[in-house]
Structure 1
Amino acid sequence: CLQIISSENDGRDIDMLKDIGLQIIAKCDGLPLAVKVMGGLLCQKDKNRHEWEMVLADSVWSISGMPEELNHAVYLSYEDLPSTAKQCFLHFSLLPKTAKFFCNEIIGMWISEGFLHGTSDDLEELGRKYYKELILRNLIEPNIEYIDQNLCNMHDVVRSFAQFVARDEALAAHSGETNIVSRLSAHEFLRLSLESKASESDGLDWSSLQAQKTLRALISVGYINIKPGDSLVHFPCLRTLCIYSAHVVALHESLHELKHLRYLSLINTDISSLPDSIGKMKFLQYISLHGCEQFVKVPHSFVKLGLLRYLSFSGTSIEGIPKGFHALTNLRVLTGFPAQVDGDWCSLEELGPLSQLKHLELDGLENITASSSATKAKLGNKVQLTILFLNCGSILGDDGLIKEEDGVSEEKQQRIEKVFEELCPPHRLETLVIKGYFGQRLPLWMMSSSAVPLKSLRNLFITDLACCTQLPDGLSQLPFLEFIQINHAPAIKRIRPEFIQSYHQHSPCPSQMVAAFPRLHVMNLIGMVEWEEWEWEEQVQAFPVLQQLMLEQCKLKCLPPGLASQARALNSLSITSVQGLVSLENFPSLVELDLDEILDLERITNLPRLQKLTIEDCPKLKTLEGVPALQRLILTDEDMKTLPEYMGGINPRHLELYCSLALLTSIAAAQSGPEWDKFSHVKHVKAYASEGDNTKKWFVLYTADPYNLETNVSRSFMSRGNFTLLVHLNLSIYSGYLNYSVCNVHFVSMLEFAYCQLFLLNRPF
């Protein structure tokens, strides 16, 4: 229902269809996946009884011949797909789960396989359309850790169904399967996907693939046993070759045999160069050498590949690209381009004619000595460009501070400032990534009065901002900005009011003020190690739809008043390794709070909607109150000897505890232990203590109603544990005295009394 309703009118229509909807849900047998898939299917239908009754009466619900574990709802959704989308869906199911395949890579495969039909200019957009349709139908699901649905997963049930449908043409196999070699020798496939473990003993021999003469696509992830003399000559029809994390050097010389190859991806492999004859492979559209650290040489004939649409050298060791690169005008995606200024390599100037670029990543910009070279790259004229990476080598160490040996001169700072000034992006830019920038100020096109080039920006990443003392004050004006992440900015000590208030400065009337950052949903401020102050007054309107905020590794002593009063949609707050923060209070909308290593934190109060609270290594926290909606509390401190006193004043439904063995044994003692009153009212408790390898070796599982307590802490061990805890508590009481007294300590036995005397005698004063 939530998927289908997009307006108030839709809601009324759905009410009229409720009876049919419930019948469709009944056919889903209570499986959440099936219900989601049916919701995705009904989204594509008109909201009328005839359309929904056709779905309810479809013969697919009663089809036989499918394995029991497969799902008729998935089949129904598959049958409703356009023919091209069906091919794309079946192909997605072949991608091994142990590797990450991003949207651009997948669409590149679809283009290379010939699934997408249209003009050359529209193929990527067409592929994205089908990619999004699979998402809308819940046949693939976006990974929430990545922006813009760039990485998607496929549920195992959906994957199994798709592989079942494609079983005559495609095989997805694991190297450990016992019958894989016999299946490869008995049947020829069009598409083959292999997934191997890292060890050589589990790897498949390359020679076992040689019977696949009609193979059009080969995708291999993990170890595969390629020996000297092994070749690609046995696969004359191959269009797609994708190999992850394998030793492929032996295949280098036979690459030119693949006359029909469109897609070549050798990610994280040991290849060091491409063959000199690569220029003869005229059909190549996609080349990725991402993460091939040993790759050092790009042959001169490379610039003859006029059909190339995608090219990635990210993570390689190439010094440069041969001159003549400007001829590759068909490129849409270019990553890992090494910026050079002289010699036999092409310069930034050769990027000028590449007007079709949509995604561009420039590396080594600190090597550019003349800003005129950056000017001739003509980034502002590339009207299709939506993703831009501007990368310099970082001068920051692991501690987030500038490495002394990499100190930068004022002359170099001025030079890099001029270079970045000339790399002004076009107005359609949606994602901007800046890495390793060491100028004292950011380029003017990021500042308040000149940020017009970023008017379409949605995502901003800035990493290793070494020398800038302030964040760009033009961001608050951007109408579509949804995501900001700053990683490591050691020169920033204050976030000034201009970061937010620049939007209001030129407003003629206060009543016309619009909240700053009107569409920002997520902001992560990480590793700003010297940041101490955030100036944001309570009345200044900003971040009206901010939902997630992460603060990590800084010295922020208090959160600004404006954050609690103005960020009314903030439901998730994560704070890690922040020095000096004493209290956290008065966030009316917060639902989830994650705290880790806040060593000075003492108070958490007045969070009326908080449902999930995670606290790790906050040793001074004494007050937790005003959390009436709390459902789940997770406490982690392996040195914790007693439960916090505030446990008696809160009532979470679930408590998850990672603590010392002494505390666990006390909890395991239930009513007879000193901790009983602090946790007995909690409905469900899971408590664990680990050994040195952090495994959950000891546990206590408790349920209040009906009463149940399970533990693997033995009764005799529990007795020893209680005694140890008893001694610890009383030593704490008397530690202020020069002479220890044990007269008020109750001991279970004389043996324990003797042990305590020995313990005290050996304890240093």
Structure 2
Amino acid sequence: MSIIEKCDGLPLAVKVIGGLLRQRNTRQSDWKNVLNDSTWLVSQMPEDLNYAIYLSYQDLHHDLKSCFLHYALLPKSTIFSHDCIIAMWISEGFIHGNSQDFEVLGREYYDQLIARNLLEPVPRFVDQGVCNMHDVIRSFAQYLARDEAMIAHKSEAGLINYINPQNVFRISLKTKGSESNEHGWSSLQAHISLRTLILVGGIKINPDDSVIFSMFADSTYRRWKFRCIVRILVPTQTLECIDLSNCKSLVKLPGGVGRLHQLRYLSLFDSGINNIPKGLGGLTNLRILKGFPAHVEGDCCSLEELGSLNQLMVLHIHGHGLENVSSSSFAIKARLGEKVHLSFLYLECTSRRGGAQRLVKHEEQQETEKVLDELCRPPCLENLKIQGYLSQLLPRWMTSTAMASLGSLRNLAMEDLPYCAELPDGLFQLPSLELLQIESAPAIKRVGPEFLIPHHHELPGGSDFKN
């Protein structure tokens, strides 16, 4: 009760201190140490910042402090998945240990911030994959990071032209509407110490602004994170994290993308890029690949280039691709069944939502089935999503007789399956299954009795699924 008094009755302060206390033993002496901590008496902080948050921050180890402050750079109300955030932490050098385990250690850091109530998971995302940060906590973190980071969101975006470029290691920039004309790439060229750049929204690019990348290549710059770039520029070979999600106007990657040998994270999700230059197979350090376009068109990489990417943990093969793969032999060469680290697989064919429904010929369905049949499930698969699948039968590795091989599967989502007529009978024989989501599957007329009788697995919202 004395600790609660210290929190001045503020619910957020109590919640954060509760997150700190849960890290301690329940001995009275440990709790008294928190009560008597000198941090409660710190006077140099602005009055609107909370001492309970400061106490929790001081209790973090050094690397976790850096991760916490970095999270506050992310623009509010913009979704960043946990694997993207962790990739940025890794590229900044906040995660130490064996480089093979960086993503695992990063997830542990992420979970610690949640356990301490410094991050709040968004309920609609599986596995706490997306979090929010309370405004008060965000203000506190941004205050502490003020000497090394420039945060310019919306109305403050024009301030980027007035900061001292020698002191800034990180810039987070979010623009909207006419604000994008207030500054551009040219205003970033003086920032020779820049390590992370987060861009959300439009930015002005002049024809000669590509020199920014060659300048960074010769400086202390090593890492990069950017979103919503309106046209492609040539990146440096030291990049570890590239996120081009939602870059609708971006239609092409540079031919040298295969030389980015340090790259661990690449997202082209929901961008305008429908093909990748050959050479992707050289990115053997890649852990996360989102938005990979599978179809072959001219001098572009195909599914077979995935074969050498044995470190993959997350793979998303995106729409306008799988049903256009000309031969299942490309899928065989992807060697998904040999990727022992791959735990998240997202297979997306062309979505029919929001557009004209086209009839799919039986031959097309058979070819799509053959392709997915050869995209054999990885041995340690935990998360599987299939979307926009235009065939009647699910891949053979999802049939009833093969379901036992999916023993590690925890989350299964199937969405927009217009022709699929039945579900595998063995779904509820999966020992680890926690979440099953089936949406927009109108051809399924009945489900098996295992959906109707009680057992230890529970479906969100009961046994119904949406048509």
TM-score using structure 2 length: 0.91
State whether structure 2 residue 156 is matched by structure 1 residue 238: no
Cα distance in 1, alignment partners of residues 263 and 58 from structure 2: 34
Cα deviation for residue 331 of structure 1 reads: 0.4
State whether structure 2 residue 109 is matched by structure 1 residue 130: yes
Greater CA drift, 336-345 or 436-445? 336-345
Cα distance in 1, alignment partners of residues 272 and 38 from structure 2: 57
Cα distance in 1, alignment partners of residues 443 and 129 from structure 2: 32
| One-letter amino acid of the structure 2 residue matched with residue 417 of structure 1 | E
Cα distance in 1, alignment partners of residues 197 and 92 from structure 2: 11
Greater CA drift, 174-183 or 293-302? 174-183
Quote the residue 1:461 is aligned against: 413
Cα deviation for residue 97 of structure 1 reads: 0.7
* CA displacement, residues 459-514 of structure 1 (integer Å, 9 cap, x when unaligned): 112121021111232211112212222221121122233x54xxxxxxxxxxxxxx
Quote the residue 2:27 is aligned against: 48
SS in 1 for 2:104: helix
Greater CA drift, 431-440 or 22-31? 22-31
Q: Is the 8 A contact 1:274 1:297 kept in 2?
A: no
Cα distance in 1, alignment partners of residues 266 and 418 from structure 2: 30
* CA displacement, residues 221-243 of structure 1 (integer Å, 9 cap, x when unaligned): xx35346x836432222222221
> Against the structure 1 CA distance between its residues 169 and 319, is the aligned structure 2 distance closer, same or farther, given a 3 Å change threshold?
closer
> Against the structure 1 CA distance between its residues 252 and 475, is the aligned structure 2 distance closer, same or farther, given a 3 Å change threshold?
farther
SS in 2 for 1:419: helix
Quote the residue 2:233 is aligned against: 274
Quote the residue 1:264 is aligned against: 224
Q: Is the 8 A contact 1:330 1:354 kept in 2?
A: yes
Greater CA drift, 317-326 or 301-310? 317-326
> Against the structure 1 CA distance between its residues 95 and 344, is the aligned structure 2 distance closer, same or farther, given a 3 Å change threshold?
same
Q: Is the 8 A contact 2:166 2:192 kept in 1?
A: no
* CA displacement, residues 141-160 of structure 1 (integer Å, 9 cap, x when unaligned): 11112111111111112122
> Against the structure 1 CA distance between its residues 138 and 388, is the aligned structure 2 distance closer, same or farther, given a 3 Å change threshold?
same
From 12, 16, 30, the counterpart of 2:9: 30
> Against the structure 1 CA distance between its residues 542 and 175, is the aligned structure 2 distance closer, same or farther, given a 3 Å change threshold?
closer
From 324, 327, 339, the counterpart of 1:382: 339
> Against the structure 1 CA distance between its residues 199 and 372, is the aligned structure 2 distance closer, same or farther, given a 3 Å change threshold?
closer
Q: Is the 8 A contact 1:348 1:376 kept in 2?
A: yes
From 372, 376, 379, the counterpart of 1:427: 379
Cα distance in 2, alignment partners of residues 393 and 178 from structure 1: 37
From 125, 135, 140, the counterpart of 1:156: 135
Quote the residue 1:113 is aligned against: 92
Larger Rg: 1
Within a 5 Å distance, the mapping from 1:296-695 to structure 2 comes to: 296-341=251-296, 343-363=298-318, 364-394=321-351, 396-398=352-354, 403=357, 406-497=358-449, 500=451, 536=452, 540-542=453-455, 544-546=457-459, 548-549=461-462, 554=467
Cα deviation for residue 24 of structure 1 reads: 1.4
Cα distance in 2, alignment partners of residues 243 and 187 from structure 1: 20
**RMSD in angstroms over aligned alpha carbons?**
2.5
Cα deviation for residue 293 of structure 1 reads: 2.0
Cα deviation for residue 132 of structure 1 reads: 0.9
Cα distance in 2, alignment partners of residues 37 and 347 from structure 1: 48
| One-letter amino acid of the structure 1 residue matched with residue 424 of structure 2 | P
> Against the structure 1 CA distance between its residues 179 and 120, is the aligned structure 2 distance closer, same or farther, given a 3 Å change threshold?
closer
| One-letter amino acid of the structure 2 residue matched with residue 473 of structure 1 | D
From 68, 87, 109, the counterpart of 1:89: 68
State whether structure 2 residue 182 is matched by structure 1 residue 225: yes
Cα deviation for residue 377 of structure 1 reads: 0.6
Cα deviation for residue 409 of structure 1 reads: 1.4
> Against the structure 1 CA distance between its residues 230 and 398, is the aligned structure 2 distance closer, same or farther, given a 3 Å change threshold?
closer
Cα distance in 1, alignment partners of residues 158 and 323 from structure 2: 54
Cα distance in 1, alignment partners of residues 165 and 274 from structure 2: 46
* CA displacement, residues 307-337 of structure 1 (integer Å, 9 cap, x when unaligned): 1111122223334222222111000011111
Greater CA drift, 112-121 or 132-141? 112-121
Q: Which structure carries more relative contact order (alpha carbon 8 Å, separation 6+)?
A: 2
Cα distance in 2, alignment partners of residues 479 and 325 from structure 1: 36
Cα deviation for residue 133 of structure 1 reads: 0.8
SS in 2 for 1:440: coil
Q: Which runs of 5+ in 1 are unaligned?
A: 1-21, 204-222, 501-535, 555-765
> Against the structure 1 CA distance between its residues 187 and 312, is the aligned structure 2 distance closer, same or farther, given a 3 Å change threshold?
closer
Cα deviation for residue 344 of structure 1 reads: 1.3
| One-letter amino acid of the structure 2 residue matched with residue 269 of structure 1 | I
Cα deviation for residue 553 of structure 1 reads: 6.0
SS in 1 for 2:54: helix
Cα distance in 2, alignment partners of residues 178 and 246 from structure 1: 11
Cα distance in 2, alignment partners of residues 268 and 190 from structure 1: 20
TM-score using structure 1 length: 0.57
Greater CA drift, 82-91 or 288-297? 288-297
Q: Is the 8 A contact 1:385 1:426 kept in 2?
A: yes
Cα deviation for residue 98 of structure 1 reads: 3.5
Q: How many residues align?
A: 461
| One-letter amino acid of the structure 1 residue matched with residue 229 of structure 2 | T
| One-letter amino acid of the structure 2 residue matched with residue 282 of structure 1 | Q
Cα distance in 1, alignment partners of residues 126 and 322 from structure 2: 26
Cα deviation for residue 375 of structure 1 reads: 1.1
Q: Which runs of 5+ in 2 are unaligned?
A: none
SS in 1 for 2:419: coil
Cα distance in 2, alignment partners of residues 188 and 136 from structure 1: 33
> Against the structure 1 CA distance between its residues 422 and 185, is the aligned structure 2 distance closer, same or farther, given a 3 Å change threshold?
closer
Q: Is the 8 A contact 1:40 1:136 kept in 2?
A: yes
Cα distance in 2, alignment partners of residues 179 and 290 from structure 1: 24
Cα distance in 1, alignment partners of residues 423 and 233 from structure 2: 42
Q: Is the 8 A contact 1:444 1:451 kept in 2?
A: no
SS in 2 for 1:493: coil
> Against the structure 1 CA distance between its residues 374 and 490, is the aligned structure 2 distance closer, same or farther, given a 3 Å change threshold?
same
| One-letter amino acid of the structure 2 residue matched with residue 125 of structure 1 | V
| One-letter amino acid of the structure 2 residue matched with residue 71 of structure 1 | N
* CA displacement, residues 400-432 of structure 1 (integer Å, 9 cap, x when unaligned): xx82xx211111111111111111212311111
| One-letter amino acid of the structure 2 residue matched with residue 352 of structure 1 | G
SS in 2 for 1:172: strand
* CA displacement, residues 108-158 of structure 1 (integer Å, 9 cap, x when unaligned): 221222222222212212211111111110011111121111111111121
Cα distance in 2, alignment partners of residues 284 and 445 from structure 1: 36
> Against the structure 1 CA distance between its residues 252 and 483, is the aligned structure 2 distance closer, same or farther, given a 3 Å change threshold?
farther
